A = this chain, B = another copy of it.
Amino acid sequence: MKQDLDALMESANLDALLVSGPATRNPAMFYFTGNVHVGYGDLVKLRGQEPVLFCNPMEREEAARTGLQTRNLAEYRYQDLLKQAGNDHAQATALRYQKMFTDLGLTAGRVSIYGLQDAARSYEVFKALQALMPEIEIVGEMKDPVLLQARETKDEQELEQIRQMGAITVEIVGKTAAFLQSHKVRDGVLVKDDGQPLTIGEVKRKIDLWAIERGVENPHGVIFAIGRDAGVPHSTGNPEDVLALGKTIVFDIFLQQPGGGYHYDFTRTWCLGFAPEKDQKLYDDVRQVFDRLMNEEIEAGMSFSALQERTCELFEEQGHATIRQDPLIEEGYVHSIGHGLGLDIHEPPFARPPEVMLKPGVVVTIEPGLYYPGSGMGVRIEDTVFIHPDGRIEVVAEYPHDLVLQIREN
């Protein structure tokens, strides 16, 4: 978590972090600023010191809301620097960084860079800055960047954000169930008052509206996939599909706080009205593994890849093919057991090599699933859990796991 940053910087031999870009939709910056309307900023954190946010004077009031120390970017007089740099923007921006760093007393050491930015700018500006300041080393961490290491465990404030998103998510899932159940059935599919079939596109539109009503964002869309599509983990569902009874529906919803904040991740599999025997069997297999993982297998401090291995074992015992037997399989258990989530919907820890531990403080998904597109079915059950400092495993937002969603036939 954020309070570990200095120690993590020391381990990685970093003297400063530089985060650039907008505050919103830029996880590295949002991590420090939260959701403020700062269109561009440079945040510098020296090891052992509080971060400082450089921003434009027009956005100073907004920047002040972050509670961070702020400085005025305009004081560096970009137009003068541009002249000095012979109209070379990369050089002018590098000169500005040099002055900013010098003003903070940062004149030597290793500086790691972060933030979503135009590729051309990152390449040219940091190359120019490196040439201008040979006494510092510009570092682009390609593996386990310190910021992601810090973000891997959540503090109380972050957990509270994720809890809020969890509460909103299960509320919307409940509304979705009620919405489906409010429909009548004709010829085995849900129909509206006008007798026309309800479509997946209409369900998704409803979910979008509820998200907006609750003030949250749905930037990646939801997965609402029926039948064969439920058997293809990356299918988001065909908007024209109708809601047929007795087919598995994989409903995976991953909402986000406004401005690019914290996520929640959640999946249920539903059969409307009834479950055919083969679908029920598939669900029972997944449910058994899910319950087993949640109640007996997952432990604070264990290896996340070991949990993936264990999941494969359990599914193999049931007779299913798994991805550890063949990474290219398309039927059986074909993906990973889960992932960390926070400002990114997928962030460390990951349940794949290199091996990482489920540290106390992580928020991860547990999402076993079985996929048989050839048989027109797929099942995934996913909850997001927090691993408490005392080792307790908490499901962040509870919701029933039932397969069959009762539909009144009439």
Q: How many copies does the complex hold?
A: 2
A112 to B112, CA, bound (A): 24
Q: A56's closest neighbor in chain B, by CB? A: B234
| Contacting pair B90 A140 (CB below 8 A) | yes
The interface stretch among A116-124, A160-168, A399-407 is A116-124
Chain B nearest CB from A406 CB (Å) reads 29
Residues of B contacting A138 with CB < 8 Å? Answer: 123
> Is there a chain B Cβ closer than 8 Å to A213's Cβ?
yes
Please give, as numbers and ranges, the residues of chain B lying within 8 Å of A20 by CB-CB distance. 119
Of A5-13, A141-149, A294-302, the one contacting chain B is A141-149
**Is the Cβ of A126 less than 8 Å from the Cβ of B121?**
no
Contacts A142-B88, A212-B208 hold; do A119 and B124 have CB atoms under 8 A apart? Answer: no
Are the CB atoms of B114 and A117 closer together than 8 Å?
Answer: no
- Map CB proximity to B onto A69-105 as digits: 1 under 8 Å, 0 otherwise: 0000000000000000001111001000000000000
The answer, yes or no, to whether A37 is at the interface (CB within 8 Å) is yes
**A200 CA / B304 CA spacing, docked (Å):** 47
Interface residue A115 (Cβ < 8 Å from any Cβ of B): yes
Which of B25, B87, B93, B120 is close to A114, meaning CB atoms less than 8 Å apart? B120
B115 A140 Cβ-Cβ under 8 A: no
Contacts of A213 in B (CB 8 A): 205, 209
Kindly state the separation between the CA atoms of A21 and B116 in the bound complex, as whole angstroms.
10
Q: Does any Cβ of B come within 8 Å of A236's Cβ?
A: yes
**B123 and A140 form a contact (CB under 8 A):** yes
The 7 tightest CB contacts between A and B, nearest first, are: A120-B140, A122-B122, A124-B140, A89-B142, A119-B122, A123-B140, A113-B119
Contact with B along A132-155 (1 / 0, CB 8 A): 000000111111010000000000
Chain B CB within 8 A of A59 CB: yes
A200 to chain B, nearest CB (A): 15
Is B209 a contact of A142 with CB atoms below 8 Å? no
Report the separation of the CA atoms of residues A67 and B5 in the bound assembly, to the nearest whole angstrom: 45
Cβ contact within 8 Å between A114 and B123: no
A324 to B88, CA, bound (A): 25
Does A127 sit within 8 A of B, measured CB to CB? yes
Whether B122 pairs with A90 at a CB distance below 8 angstroms is: no
> Looking across the interface, which residue of chain B has its beta carbon closest to that of A74?
B328
User: Which positions 1-41 of chain A face chain B at CB distance < 8 Å?
Assistant: 20-21, 25, 37
Contacts of A112 in B (CB 8 A): 120
- Distance between Cα atoms of A113 and B120 in the complex (Å): 6
Q: Let me know if A117 and B117 touch, CB within 8 A.
A: yes
Best-buried of A25, A117, A140, A212 by chain B (most CB within 10 Å): A140
Contact between B115 and A123, CB atoms less than 8 A apart:
no
**B117 and A119 contacting across the interface, CB-CB below 8 Å:** yes
Given A127-B127, A208-B212, 18 extra CB contacts under 8 A? A20-B119, A21-B119, A25-B25, A37-B236, A89-B142, A90-B142, A113-B120, A113-B123, A117-B119, A119-B126, A120-B122, A120-B140, A121-B140, A122-B140, A123-B126, A123-B127, A205-B213, A212-B212
Question: Taking the nearest CB of chain B, how far is it from the CB of A21, in angstroms?
Answer: 8
Determine if A59 and B118 form an interchain contact, defined as CB atoms under 8 angstroms apart.
no
Bound Cα distance from A113 to B113, whole angstroms: 19
